[in-house]
Structure 1
Amino acid sequence: MAKKTITELKAYFKAGKRPTEAQFGDVMDSFANLEDPQLFPKSYIKKRLNIDFPNDVFDQAVDILLGNRGMSGRLEIEIVGTWMYTNTVGNIKKLFQLGLNPDNAIWYPTTSRIVETGGPITNHIYIGDIVWDANINQYKITIFHTHHSGNIYDVRITYHCPFDTQDFSEVKLSDVYTSPLTGQRVHYTHYNDNLGIGTTLPETSLHVKAPKDKGHSNVVGGLFDRSEAAGGSNIVQLKYHSTADLELNSFYSGTNFRYGSYGDFNIVNNIDDGTYGAINMVTKKQTRLSIMPNGNIGVGTTLPTGKLHISQSPSSDPIDAMTIDVGSFGNPQNANKSHYFRVRDVGGSNNIPFIIKGSGNVGIGTETPAAKMHLVSGYVFPDSEGALIVGDTSQVNLRLGCSDRYSWMQGHGTSPLHINPLGNNVILNKDGGNVGIGTQNPDQKLTVKGKIHAEDVVVDMNVPADYVFQKYFDGQSSIRPEYQMPTIQELESFVRENKHLPEIPSGEAIVKDGVNLGDFQMKLLQKIEELTLYVISQNKEIENLKAIIKK
């Protein structure tokens, strides 16, 4: 028999081979020498220490002295408690990722986390982080014992590093000394960076599991208990990133609240997006209420189009989609499916001053609206197509949507119909459409069948007739460059043939199409200016003839 390395032993068991008796002896001899680093080099080192904390002394501590060494890889510190003086059984294991060189030369920042806890030991022991102590010129880890009852603890150190097999025999404990622990005093367990409270298998970053098998008792899964009279800002906050959180404000007055006042519970979603970032309330896997980023509220819809949008599923029986009770007398009525919306006075009379019926009719002051909008004491037009009626039973002042009469506004008897009697502007069809007076078929912005009596009329013009004089006296016109005034002979020829002036519509065209008042006025002015030039030209010829005669 002979001791063999792992590589040599693997050769005995290749496919298709069976180890000989001598080779099997080598295996047994090698197994008996597992601790021989020449044969089986280890990628980890283990060390065990014992801590004996004194009894009846608070805030004790001890240091694990690691020496002035280079350490890289992973270091595990596990502390196991025993049953002495108080119930401190259990264990705490902390994992460190290292990148240390001697003399505090850190090439990779140390990270650490608790990977295992169990038992009441977590209430008594706290494992610190690796720090450099310049006074003793070495690295150390401080273990804090916060309970006053003494106890003996087993410290198990495991150092993992595949290329570093340093001797850990010099690692030791310092003397026990007094050192109060500040800040966090209890460890929390991390599994793949998840935190579990009440569970050893946390499924997310924070997993809180309440006790089970408690019957029908009221079990609190999580409790934040604060009783002191503290004012100011939020005392409880569950936060997601920088945009969404749940907040409970202090119940005492203060001025530093982010939202609301004292005692308020805030549901916050500050995602700065016009489409995403709603707050939803869900039951039976369906969104029942949504508050959108723009402030719109949807009940039964996730796409509210107004500040309050209530939607009922088409397949649902519309039994009172909404009932508003005002006062304190009477019982809510919610059995009549013909009512979609009601505002009711339950202060004693149970009157319903406002109602929207299932037919779509709206009643104000009446429970039985006979039109799309029916005001109490209003006149009901016999036509079933009436939509809005305003006025008493004897004199209807306004009717909207009345059959072929469309919308009516009327006076009564000899009383005139007043529109905006205060004297402000009256604007009709601001964005388009024609207005007819005396006709049902207006073909222009304003069509009047009949006479118009006006004290003055102002017409806006784009092209004044000054181009006639410009072309005659200057030889050119910036207003109408193509204009040419006809000669008197050309004018005579045109009139003889067409029986009307050039650029002036014929009598038949005027009867058929009418005239554009502004354009027609400009054409008449053009003809007056042309006639003026003809007279000037004739006058020049007359003066020339007079001069010739005098000679």
Structure 2
Amino acid sequence: MIFRKTALILFLFIVAISEAQNETINGNLTINSTADVGASQNPALVIGQRSGHHIGIDGNEIGAFYNNSFSNVYINCSLSTSNTVLNDGGGKIGMGTPYPSELLHISARNSGDGVIRLESDLDNNNEGDNIRIEMYQDGGLHGALIGFNQDWPGSQSDNIFRIVTRQNGINDYSTLTIDPFTSFVGIGTTEPDSKLTVKGKVHAQEVKLDLVGSVAPDYVFKEGYNLKSLEEVERHIKDKGHLPNIPSAREMEEEGIDMKEMNLKLLEKIEELTLYIIEQQNLIKQQKEYFSGEMKKMEYKLENLLNK
């Protein structure tokens, strides 16, 4: 009985609209229905042909269908250039959830991945079309920008991923840079030249370096190692101004310091220094034994002289 009444009301409504296409209805129009919006349901209001594309509206639901099967919902079609505003009253929007807890709450429910996909320049014809997320607070004075932008400084800036921080209205484009072509990461620089390039101080609790082909300098202790004499080391220092096999101050200023290489060279010098100390210790021991023997001889001679 209810369905018949609803169908009759809807029929009269459609007839009235068709007969008065430009008429305005003043007052409230109520259509009662107990059906849900679904592929096999009969909602209170259907716009379009049931055998083709149509929209069903009932209560707090709206659905798009094609020939009684679910279809896409288009808001502001491709021919429209106007803006689309959702819930400008400040309420929350849920996608995949009927109970949004934030302004925008997206849920994959019990299965599937929760993915947000951003795209631009699909035809690869306009390098100035880029994707990014911009976050501002305090009237735009502070915030962060994440993504790509051709206007940001650096080579191939439109294809370089950045995290840009903003303070007092000024953007720092060197906060974090990732070059997708080389997988180089830069902190404090827009031009990383290694897997990790940091321009500034680094504070770490622990740093571990793998040798990866480098040789620990225990070869210094092996038989046959060419340990320079202290005289040779002294001449090298006078001529070059630095230790053998150690870069000069000028080289370090121009090329920087390879921490792994420098640590191994310093260890080499420590091991060489250990050998020098051992050599000196042996020499001191020999001299001590020699002088001890000489002292005994002198004491023996002195005792003989005194006994005469």
Give the TM-score of the pair, scaled to structure 2.
Answer: 0.46
Structure with more of its chain in strand, by fraction: 1
Structure with more of its chain in helix, by fraction: 2
